[in-house]
Amino acid sequence: MHGRAVLDRRECRARPERSADVAPNPGQADREKGVDYVGSKTNRPAPHLAYASSQTAMRPIRTAYVTTQDPSDIRSWSGLDYYIAKTLSSQAFELDPLGPLETKYESLFKIKEAAFRVGLRRHHPRDREPTIAKHYARQIMTKLRSDHKLAFAVGTLAIPYLECTQPIAFWSDATWATMVDFYPVYSNLSAQSLENGHALEQAALAKSSLAIYSSEWAARSAIADYGLDPECVAVVPFGANMDGQLSDREAADVVARRDKRSCRLLFIGAEWERKGGPLAIELARELNEAGLATQIDVVGPWPARTNPPPFVRPFGFVDKSSPDGQALLRRLLLEAHFLVLPSRAEAYGVVLCEAAAHAVPVLATNVGGIPTIVREGVNGKLFDRDAGAECYAEFVRGVFGTAAYRSLALSSLGEYRSRLNWNVAGARVRELVEGVV
């Protein structure tokens, strides 16, 4: 969306005359198709990062804020419902939260889900049930008011059946097509669930004036898999779900204080296998066996019935919504040389933005939405999904304790400041929404 406002929601329906082909990598081809990357060098300079307290120059936009979960709960969807609301509010969106929404017949659909799993050995996620989506829409429609200028949703689950006069915009990290056979919970699906998911996604996209995605990976799918008009699609990365940032002097001091004799790795993930926990541990083992003393801190559940090796410090679940939890995570990040996230599947990965905010380079897989966050040689290193621990270890040994590491750490903070924070994201979303209200 470069210089052309979206004026008519009908323009967001599929346009058969347009090619659905999309480039495999972000860049000029994406920009030509209307996939707008907020971190591109072609964009205007990023605004100042401090949360703006005076927005008198902006006209307020009364907005129905649509979430299926409680947006005041910082633990909801890894904090995204909460931080997106905070971001929009800083840009003069006057939000009326319409969530949490009731999930109709949830107990019944849990039984149905279990029956498919046990009887047919198929996944049948209840969040793709049309009955639930219809009830979401009915709840929203009873809460919408005439003074709402916009319905802004986090994700698409609540909007396939939404009928309203207000333009609809959403911000999401994936399409249904990208999740199928990518995340374990959306693999080996029942035929009914697969069909429902595609139908709901298509309906949600057709109703929307503005489709914002956190990555090129998701945006390309909306265009290629659902025929969405590229003029209605934008890419705006999510920010870091932790408050505060380092000054230049603090960042230089933090990086200088990191141990030059032993390596500290950090792994953060609630889903051990999907996030690549076993590979992260193998990396630490490989480095130790190669002669580089290495410790890995693990935040999240440790696998049951197994004891961690001596070079592992397991911290279990850390509640980021508490001051103590925030302080612990901040300390672990500041002490780490690298964040390791070798995910098997990842739609985005907010923790990668949080690493950048603390001048921590990341080692991650080149899957899903991760390449939008991690720029090779700028704030980390991307590896093929099938790369072994030795590949990661070779890179770590090559830069550990060198000037190249210091440069990588400080440029990681630069990436956070320029494009991986909520202020930059909020300003871009405000600009995009101005084209539809």
Model confidence pLDDT, tens digit, residues 53-97:
344 579 999 999 999 999 999 988 889 999 999 999 999 999 999
Judge whether residue 39 has pLDDT over 90. no
Alpha carbons 6 and 175: distance in angstroms, whole number: 21
What pLDDT does 25 receive? 37
Alpha helix segments (H runs only) across 208-297: 216-226, 248-257, 277-289
Are the beta carbons of 292 and 263 closer than 8 angstroms? yes
269 and 223 fall within a common domain: no
Q: Residue 2 domain-assigned?
A: no
User: pLDDT tens across 230-279, in order?
Assistant: 999 999 999 999 988 899 999 999 999 999 999 999 999 999 999 999 99
Packing angle between helix 248-257 and helix 403-419, nearest 10 degrees?
Answer: 140
Question: Do 320 and 401 belong together in one domain?
Answer: yes
- Per the DSSP assignment, residues forming a β-bridge with 169 are 152, 210
Which DSSP helix (H) or strand (E) runs through 426?
helix 422-433
Residue 3 maps to a domain: no
- Which of 322, 353, 323 is closest to 339 using CA atoms? 353
Share of residues in the chain with pLDDT > 90 (%) = 83
Same domain, 187 and 175: yes
Alpha-carbon gap, residue 326 to 309, rounded angstroms: 26
Higher pLDDT, 42 or 243: 243
Specify the 3-state DSSP secondary structure of 121: coil
**Co-location of 232 and 271 in the same domain:** no
**Greatest distance between any 2 Cα atoms in the chain:** 67
Q: Are residues 354 and 389 in the same domain?
A: yes
- Kindly state whether residues 206 and 309 are assigned to the same domain: no
Q: What is the mean pLDDT of the chain?
A: 89
Residues 73 and 184 in one domain: yes
b/e per residue, 333-370, with b = 16+ CB within 10 A?
A: bbbbbbbbbbbbbbbbbbbbbbbbbbbbbbbbbebbbb
pLDDT of residue 13: 52
Same domain, 276 and 166: no
Residue in the structure block whose two tokens are 């967001």: 12
Question: What CA–CA distance (Å, rounded) separates 211 from 150?
Answer: 13
Domain-located, residue 103:
yes
Q: What number is the average pLDDT over the span 203-223?
A: 98
Asked if the model's pLDDT at residue 30 lies above 50, the reply is no
pLDDT at 31 over 90: no
For the stretch 129-153, pLDDT in tens is 999 999 999 999 999 999 999 999 9
With respect to residue 131, please indicate whether it lies within any of the assigned structural domains. Answer: yes
pLDDT in tens, 353-371: 999 999 999 999 999 999 9
pLDDT given at position 37: 42
What's residue 7's pLDDT? Answer: 33
Amino acid code (one letter) for 87: T
Going from the C-alpha of 61 to that of each of 16, 94, 335, the distances in angstroms are: 33, 6, 42
Query: Token pair for residue 148?
Result: 């709402």
**45 and 81 in one domain?**
yes
- Distance in angstroms (rounded) separating the CA atoms of residues 406 and 395: 14
Asked if residue 1 belongs to a domain, the reply is no
6, pLDDT greater than 50: no
For residue 239 the two structure tokens come to 């920010």
Helices (H) then strands (E): counts for the chain: 15, 12
Q: What is the pLDDT of residue 281?
A: 98
Strand-pair category, 168-172 with 150-154: parallel
Q: Are 157 and 172 in contact (CB under 8 A)?
A: no
pLDDT(38) > 60: no
Residue 4 pLDDT greater than 70, yes or no: no
For 294, the 3-state DSSP assignment is strand
Helices (H), 117-215: 130-143, 176-179, 191-207
What is the average per-residue pLDDT within 280-298?
Answer: 98
| CA torsion angle 18 14 64 79 (round to 10) | -70
Output the pLDDT for position 12.
61
What are the tokens at 191? 């035929």
Q: Is residue 4 part of a domain?
A: no
Instruction: Mark residue 234 as left, alpha or beta (left: phi above 0; alpha: psi -120 to 50; beta: remaining).
Output: beta
Say which CATH number the domain at 154 has: 3.40.50.2000
Whether 15 is in a domain gets the answer yes
Question: Mean pLDDT, to the nearest integer, of 404-423?
Answer: 98
Whether residues 235 and 101 fall in one domain? yes
Average pLDDT over residues 197-221: 98
Q: Are 226 and 258 in the same domain?
A: no
Q: To which residue do tokens 């210089």 refer?
A: 3
> Distance of CA 185 to CAs 123, 125, 135, 188, 376, Å?
7, 8, 23, 8, 30
Give a yes or no: residue 288 inside a domain. Answer: yes
State how many domains the chain has: 2
Which pLDDT score is estimated for 78?
A: 86
Q: What's the domain range around 128?
A: 9-239+421-433
Domain co-membership, 298 together with 316: yes
The reported pLDDT for the residue numbered 353 is 98
Q: Is the pLDDT of residue 52 over 90?
A: no
